[in-house]
Every structure is written in C-alpha cells, then in structure tokens.
C-alpha cells in the first residue's frame, strides 16, 4: 500500500461517483441527506472489508462465534440499556440563521459557527429512530431501529452459551446495520444516519478485564496493519473521564488521519458488567455464568471492539488514493491490498484479432469462478491499465503474440507498474497467494 496518499475529499467523492463506488441515495429525487448507496465496485469493496473483519475476528478463532440479530428488538431492551433515557446528543439552534449543531462540536461555545449569531440553550436530543409495529400507531406499538448492534449480542449471550460449548473467556461477533438520527452529518460516509457496524463483544472473568482490554487494543491495531493501512496514520486516543460513555470504565478510540483530520474509526471499551446486569434486572432472567472448574458464579465483564464498516471503507479509500505525476501524464491509483480490491485481475487481449480475444476470454472463464476479474478490449493497453489503476485492480494480464506460441502472458503489477511473464496455468496461484494476509 502507498505511504503517500494525497487524497482530498473532493477527489474521493468524485472518483466514487464516476467509477461506481458510492452514489447519493435517491439521487433522481434530489437525494436524501447523509444516506448513500454502494454501486457495483463499492459493494464488492464493502463486502471484502466485512469478510476481512469476519475472518480476522470470527473464522480464524476458536473462542469467537458469530450472530445475526434482528434490527427491531423489544423496546424494553433499549430501556434496560439506557438508550431511551440517555442516548442523546446536546442540540443547539442558531437564533439568526436557524442552523442546527451538536453543542459539543462547536469550537466557540455559544456562537454560531456559520454566522456568528447567538445560540439557543442546549436541549438533549435522543438519537434513536422510532417507528411503529403493527397497524396502530400509538405509544404501545413504538419500536426503535437499533442504534448499535451490541445489544443484540447481550440479549443472546445466554442462548449462545447454552447452545455451544464455549467457556469464558469467549466472544460473539456481529456485522449489521445501525441507525442514529445524528444532529449533524459530515464528511461523506464518515457520519451518516444509517450505517453498518462490525462489533465483537468479548466476555471475561471480572478481574481479568483490563488484561483483555490491552489484548484487544493490540489485536485491533494489528488488524488495521494487516488491512494495509499506513501505520503513521493510525493512533490511539484515550477517553478522558468526561468523554466516557455511561457504561464504560475504560475506552480507547482507534483514530485515522482522514483528509479532514484525526477521527474515530473504532471504539474499544471496557463495558464492565453494566449491560448484562441491566438486562438481568429488567428481564428478570439470570445472566450469571457458572465456572465449572472454579465453581464460581459471576456476571462476566465485557470488552467491546466496535468498528464502522462505512468508516473503514472511507479510511481504506483515502489511504489507498494516490495521484502520481508521471513523465507524460498523471495517473490516479488506489493501492488497495489485493484481499479487499473489488476486482483482482484485468484481462486484456493486446489487439482484437489473431485469436487473442478468444484466449483472453478463456483465461477470464478460468479465473472468474474464484474471484472478480474484468475483461477489457477497448482502447490502447495503456488506457486500459489506467482504468484498472483508478479502481485499485492489483493485476492486469495481457495476451500478446508470444501467448499464442507458448501459453504465457504478461502480468503487470499495479503499484510498481512492472511486468513479468507467467505461464497461464500459474495465474490462479500467483493471484491467490497475493490475496492472502
Ligand atoms: P461518534 O463519537 O463519532 O459519534 P461514537 O463514539 O458514538 O461515535 P460508537 O458508539 O463507539 O461511536 O460506535 C462504534 C463505531 O460505529 C464508530 O467507531 C464508528 O466507526 C461507527 N459509527 C458510529 N456512528 C456512526 C455514524 N453516524 N456513521 C457512520 N459510522 C458510525
């Protein structure tokens, strides 16, 4: 991956739209503020990021299992979790221009950042989206769109424990949509009202919690390095006492240096036994764990690693983006790790004759069942390389005259732009090996 990303938000947004990574939601109707749709390349990239996370956090481990809880949950879940009473942000309005802000995000207290006008007093605004279940729209039928995926894990902790052979310490991972009626949205897909979280909750014995907290800090940092993110642009930010959420005794954010500054990518929290205790109180169900070896009963502490899939995608895009001044032109390249690149191989016949397209199509058919490839025969080869560079395709294979004689092709590396010759039947293993982390 490049260490010299020179992304700006304008360039990223324009590339995303032009090449089909991300579109504004409901664009033909003027768009819906802060909602986005992932296009053909965006959906591949996002799926690869989610698979990468799932593989790192769930598949490769024997102490973590997966879950997919429903978005709508019993409203009492959100009373128990503290979200109905306390999942609020401080809201202020400008008395002059009427713009609305999150009070804790304003640089100069009491002054409108847009026009300098006076602001109203702070009101607490609950971020949960409400809707109604069933045909009657009354207070008894209110349900919420989940503002985090974590509660789906907590309320299923006993189900998972009782139906598996897991013992503390163990974890449950989940990827899914979350919704927050954010007062202000910002920076493209960085803060939106509908987004996806990739969360892992790790259940541990009280007393071992800070040790596990440190373990997860180290592991999660290693994960971003494996994803190919520039280490100079990743750092920890420890929450001060005034920043800590109501459930946490310790919290670190993993921050990334986006084009608009250092911002949170993921939160790692020691949530203690807060959530399970609250669910025990509110549901009347026993949430204790019985350790068969030590014969102890306790409510486990929880260490949470909570990342945003959309924020990770923005981080990956921004980190991978480079505009390079070459001798004759400028090339735009996305230096994605091959594991997450939407398309793995571009396949080109050098010219549209002499059996080269047929041979290239044969290579396409051999590789396509294993990973996404793209066949392109239009325009000069140099132009075709550039089109693949711009969407982050790590390899381009060209069928030329020599290919017809000895069953070899050139394979060109996106980052070094160097070419080497390979036997056609070595292609799959060559690319597959590069896709491993
Ligand atoms: P912030 O302080 O930015 O509002 P938070 O601390 O409330 O975020 P968490 O509740 O810890 O965020 O959520 C965990 C992760 O979910 C975040 O690190 C982020 O990656 C993602 N996330 C949270 N809110 C949003 C949002 N509105 N849009 C996109 N991703 C989000």
CA distances from 270 to 205, 251, 306 (A): 12, 6, 11
CB 96 within 8 A of CB 118: yes
Q: Residue 410: give the domain boundaries.
A: 343-435
For residue 431, the domain's CATH number is 3.40.50.800
Q: Which ligand 1 atom sits closest to the C-alpha of 311?
A: 20
Percent of the chain topping pLDDT 90: 86
Reported confidence tier of residue 184, pLDDT bands at 50, 70, 90 = confident
Joined together, the tokens standing for residue 70 give 């429903």
Instruction: Quote the pLDDT of residue 235.
Output: 97
User: Whose alpha carbon is nearest atom 4 of ligand 1?
Assistant: 191
Residue 232 has pLDDT above 70, yes or no: yes
379 and 271 share a domain?
no
pLDDT digits (tens, 9 = 90+) for 65-118: 999 999 999 999 999 999 999 898 899 999 999 998 889 888 888 889 999 999
265 and 360 share a domain?
no
How many domains does one find in the chain?
2
Q: Distance, CA 284 to ligand 1 centroid (Å)?
A: 31
Q: Distance, CA 308 to ligand 1 centroid (Å)?
A: 7
Instruction: Quote the pLDDT of residue 137.
Output: 86
283 and 400 share a domain?
no
Residue 246 has pLDDT above 80, yes or no: no
24 and 61 share a domain?
yes
Mean pLDDT of 35-62: 98
Reported confidence tier of residue 125, pLDDT bands at 50, 70, 90 = confident
Joined together, the tokens standing for residue 42 give 């965006």
310 and 173 share a domain?
yes
User: Whose alpha carbon is nearest atom 23 of ligand 1?
Assistant: 308
Strand (E) or helix (H) holding 101: strand 100-102
Instruction: Quote the pLDDT of residue 107.
Output: 80
Instruction: Quote the pLDDT of residue 186.
Output: 79
Residue 3 has pLDDT above 80, yes or no: no
DSSP state for residue 69 in the 8-state scheme: -
71 and 175 share a domain?
yes
pLDDT digits (tens, 9 = 90+) for 153-176: 999 999 999 999 899 999 999 999
244 and 379 share a domain?
no
For residue 55, the domain's CATH number is 3.30.930.10
Our mutation pick for probing the ligand 1 site, out of 197, 201, 220, 307, counting the most ligand atoms within 8 A of Cβ, is 197
Residues with CB under 6 A from ligand 1: 148, 180, 182, 191-192, 195, 197, 264-267, 306-308, 310-311
Return d(Cα 59, Cα 117) in angstroms, integer: 54
Cis before residue 169, ω within 30 degrees of 0? yes
User: Whose alpha carbon is nearest atom 18 of ligand 1?
Assistant: 266
172 and 249 share a domain?
yes
Residues in the chain: 437
Q: Distance, CA 141 to ligand 1 centroid (Å)?
A: 28
165 and 272 share a domain?
yes
302 and 375 share a domain?
no
Our mutation pick for probing the ligand 1 site, out of 306, 309, 310, counting the most ligand atoms within 8 A of Cβ, is 306
**Strand ranges (E), 240-328:** 250-258, 261-272, 289-291, 296-298, 301-308, 321-325
302 and 391 share a domain?
no
Q: How many C-alpha atoms does 115 have within 13 Å on its Cβ side? A: 11
Return d(Cα 57, Cα 105) in angstroms, integer: 33
Q: Nearest to residue 142, comparing CAs of 76, 75, 70?
A: 75
Reported confidence tier of residue 57, pLDDT bands at 50, 70, 90 = very high
Instruction: Quote the pLDDT of residue 1.
Output: 45
pLDDT digits (tens, 9 = 90+) for 307-362: 999 999 999 999 999 999 998 889 999 999 999 999 999 999 999 999 999 999 99
182 and 271 share a domain?
yes
Q: Distance, CA 178 to ligand 1 centroid (Å)?
A: 10
* Domain final residue, candidates 299, 317, 335: 317
User: Whose alpha carbon is nearest atom 14 of ligand 1?
Assistant: 306
User: Whose alpha carbon is nearest atom 2 of ligand 1?
Assistant: 264
Return d(Cα 13, Cα 347) in angstroms, integer: 27
Backbone angles phi, psi at 179, to 5 degrees: -135, 130
């Amino acid at each position: 991956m490049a260490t010299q990303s020179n992304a700006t938000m304008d360039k990223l947004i324009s590339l995303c739209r032009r090449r089909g990574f991300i579109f504004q939601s409901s664009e033909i109707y003027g768009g819906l503020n802060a909602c986005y749709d992932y296009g053909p390349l965006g959906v591949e990239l996002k799926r690869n990021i989610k698979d990468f996370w799932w593989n790192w956090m769930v598949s490769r481990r024997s102490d973590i299992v997966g879950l997919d809880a429903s978005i709508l949950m019993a409203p009492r879940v959100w009373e128990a979790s503290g979200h109905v009473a306390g999942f609020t942000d401080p809201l202020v309005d400008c008395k002059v221009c009427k713009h609305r802000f999150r009070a804790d995000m304003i640089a100069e207290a009491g002054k409108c950042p847009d026009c300098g006008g006076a602001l109203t007093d702070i009101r607490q605004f609950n971020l949960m989206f409400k809707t109604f279940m069933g045909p009657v729209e009354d207070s008894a039928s209110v349900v919420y769109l989940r503002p985090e995926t974590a509660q789906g894990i907590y309320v299923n902790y006993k189900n998972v424990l009782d139906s598996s052979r897991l013992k503390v310490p163990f974890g449950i991972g989940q990827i899914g949509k979350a919704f927050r009626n954010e007062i202000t949205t910002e920076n493209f897909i960085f803060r939106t009202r509908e987004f996806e979280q990739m969360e892992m909750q790790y259940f541990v014995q009280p007393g071992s919690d800070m040790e596990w907290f440190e373990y997860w800090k180290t592991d999660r940092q290693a994960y971003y390095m494996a994803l190919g993110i520039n280490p100079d642009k990743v750092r920890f930010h420890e929450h001060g006492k005034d920043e800590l959420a109501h459930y946490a005794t310790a919290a670190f954010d993993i921050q990334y240096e986006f084009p608009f500054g250092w911002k949170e990518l993921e939160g790692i929290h020691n949530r203690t036994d807060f959530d399970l205790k609250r669910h025990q109180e509110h549901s009347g169900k026993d949430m204790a764990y019985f350790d068969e070896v030590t014969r102890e009963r306790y409510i486990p502490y929880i260490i949470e690693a909570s990342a945003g899939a959309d924020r990770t995608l923005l981080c990956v895009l921004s980190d991978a983006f480079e505009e390079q001044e070459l001798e004759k032109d400028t090339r735009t390249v996305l230096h994605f790790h091959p594991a997450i690149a939407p398309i793995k191989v571009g396949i080109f016949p050098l010219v549209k004759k002499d059996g080269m397209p047929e041979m290239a199509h044969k290579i396409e058919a051999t590789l396509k069942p294993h990973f996404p490839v793209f066949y392109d025969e239009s325009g000069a080869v140099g132009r075709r390389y550039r089109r693949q560079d711009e969407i982050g395709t790590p390899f381009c294979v060209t069928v030329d005259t020599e290919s017809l004689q000895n069953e070899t092709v050139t394979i060109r590396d996106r980052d070094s732009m160097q070419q080497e010759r390979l036997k056609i039947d070595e292609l799959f293993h060559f690319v597959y090996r590069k896709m491993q982390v």
